C-alpha cells in the first residue's frame, strides 16, 4: 500500500479542487486572504466576498493603503469582524516591516495579527512550498477518523495528538498538493455527515471506516446551554435619514456601524431625549429577530422612531438614507433591518402611535 501522503496527493491531482479563485496562481496575498475568510465560513459563502474584495484591493499595497472603514464595509455580512481588522493591520505591518513583500515562512506568517498556527502553515505550504502541517476543522476530522483518535478536538490534549499525527504524515515533496488534498478530503469526501468512504483514497487503513465509527468520530463538542441576551435596537429617522453609531473597536461588532441600543424595558422616547437630545414624535415596534454568536444568542427588539427635525451633530454618529447605509460596514442583523427599512413605504401610518 502506498504511503498515506502519496495517496492523498494522487487523489487531489485527479479529483481535488483546482478552480477556486485563489488557486489561479500561488500569490501569497490571495492565499492568505482566502485562508482568513475561510475561518469559520464555508467556501460557497467566501467565493463572492473574495472576488469583490480582490477587485477592490487587488494586492497588499492596496489593502495597506485602505481605510479600516472601507475594509469593514466589504467584509460586512461575512461575520467575525476581527478577521477584517486583523487583516488590515497585518497588511500595514507587512508594508512597514517587509517592504510590501509577503513573509515566506510559517513562523513569520504566524506572527501576523489574526494568523494562527494552521493558517500560517497553509499559506507557507500553498504559496511557498514549505513543509509544515495544517490542522483546520476539515483536517481534524480526516485525521481523527483515519487514526481513530477519540475525544473532542477542541480539547488541548486531543488537539496536541492530532498535531503530532499531522506532522508524522507529511511528505518530503508535493507539499502544496498534499496540503490542498487534506483540505479537499475533509470538504468533499470526509464530510461531517454522510461521508463518501468508498471514494476516499485512504479508506483501506482508516480506523473509523474499519470499526464502523465514521459517524461518531471526531467526538462532538460537549453540549452546553448558550446564554441569552436581549437588546432593543432603535431605528431613528429624521427626514428620511437613519442614525448610525460607530461601535468601539473592541468587543462584538467592533468598529462597525450599528444602531443605537437600549435595554428592552426602556421608554424609547425618554431614552432618545436623554441620550441624544432628540425628540421622537412617533414610534412603531418591528418584528423581533435573533442572531447567534459563538458564545451567546442575541434577541433583538427593533423599534422604529420618527424624530422631530433637528440639525444637531452627534460625535461618532452619522445620518444616512437607509439605501445609502447599506454601503456601510453593518453587522448582519442590522443590515437586515436597514434593508427592510429601505424597501418599506410608507414608513409610518397616517396616525402615529404616540
Which residues are part of the catalytic machinery?
35
DSSP string, 250-271: SSTTTT-EE--EE-TTS-HHHH
Q: Write the Ramachandran bin of 342: left for phi over 0, alpha for psi from -120 to 50, otherwise beta.
A: alpha
Specify the length of the chain in residues.
354
State whether the Cα torsion 119-123-125-126 is positive or negative.
positive
Residue 283 host element (H or E):
strand 280-285
- CB-based burial label for 234 (10 Å; 0-12, 13-18, 19+): buried
d(CA 313, CA 280): 16
- CB-based burial label for 206 (10 Å; 0-12, 13-18, 19+): buried
d(CA 270, CA 220): 48
CA-to-CA separations, 70 to 63, 245, 250, 255, 257, in angstroms, rounded: 10, 16, 18, 11, 12
Residue 241 host element (H or E):
strand 241-246
Q: Write the Ramachandran bin of 76: left for phi over 0, alpha for psi from -120 to 50, otherwise beta.
A: beta
d(CA 248, CA 185): 40
Amino acid at each position: 500500500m502506498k504511503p498515506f501522503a502519496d495517496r492523498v496527493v494522487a487523489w487531489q491531482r485527479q479529483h481535488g479542487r483546482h478552480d477556486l479563485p485563489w488557486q489561479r496562481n500561488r500569490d501569497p496575498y490571495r492565499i492568505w486572504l482566502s485562508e482568513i475568510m475561510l475561518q469559520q465560513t464555508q467556501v460557497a459563502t467566501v467565493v463572492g466576498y473574495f472576488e469583490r474584495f480582490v477587485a477592490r484591493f487587488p494586492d497588499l499595497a492596496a489593502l495597506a493603503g485602505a481605510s479600516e472603514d472601507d475594509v469593514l464595509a466589504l467584509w460586512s455580512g461575512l461575520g467575525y469582524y476581527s478577521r477584517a481588522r486583523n487583516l488590515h493591520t497585518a497588511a500595514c505591518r507587512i508594508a512597514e516591516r517587509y517592504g510590501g513583500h509577503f513573509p515566506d515562512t510559517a513562523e513569520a506568517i504566524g506572527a501576523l495579527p489574526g494568523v494562527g498556527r494552521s493558517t500560517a502553515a497553509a499559506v507557507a505550504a500553498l504559496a511557498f512550498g514549505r513543509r509544515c502541517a495544517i490542522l483546520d476543522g476539515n483536517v481534524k476530522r480526516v485525521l481523527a477518523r483515519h487514526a481513530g483518535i477519540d475525544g473532542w478536538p477542541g480539547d488541548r490534549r486531543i488537539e496536541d495528538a492530532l498535531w503530532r499525527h499531522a506532522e508524522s504524515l507529511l511528505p518530503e515533496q508535493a507539499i502544496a498538493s498534499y496540503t490542498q488534498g487534506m483540505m479537499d478530503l475533509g470538504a468533499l469526501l470526509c464530510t461531517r455527515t454522510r461521508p463518501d468512504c468508498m471514494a476516499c483514497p485512504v479508506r483501506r487503513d482508516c480506523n473509523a471506516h474499519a470499526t464502523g465509527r465514521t459517524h461518531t468520530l471526531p467526538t462532538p463538542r460537549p453540549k452546553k446551554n448558550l446564554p441569552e441576551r436581549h437588546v432593543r435596537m432603535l431605528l431613528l429617522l429624521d427626514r428620511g435619514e437613519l442614525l448610525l453609531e460607530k461601535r468601539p473597536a473592541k468587543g462584538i461588532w467592533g468598529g462597525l456601524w450599528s444602531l443605537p441600543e437600549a435595554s428592552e424595558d426602556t421608554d424609547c422616547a425618554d431614552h432618545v431625549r436623554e441620550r441624544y437630545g432628540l425628540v421622537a414624535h412617533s414610534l412603531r415596534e418591528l418584528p423581533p429577530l435573533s442572531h447567534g454568536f459563538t458564545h451567546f444568542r442575541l434577541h433583538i427588539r427593533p423599534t422604529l422612531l420618527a424624530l422631530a427635525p433637528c440639525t444637531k451633530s452627534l460625535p461618532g454618529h452619522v445620518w444616512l438614507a437607509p439605501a445609502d447605509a447599506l454601503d456601510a460596514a453593518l453587522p448582519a442583523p442590522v443590515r437586515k433591518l436597514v434593508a427592510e427599512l429601505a424597501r418599506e413605504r410608507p414608513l409610518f401610518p397616517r396616525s402615529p402611535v404616540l
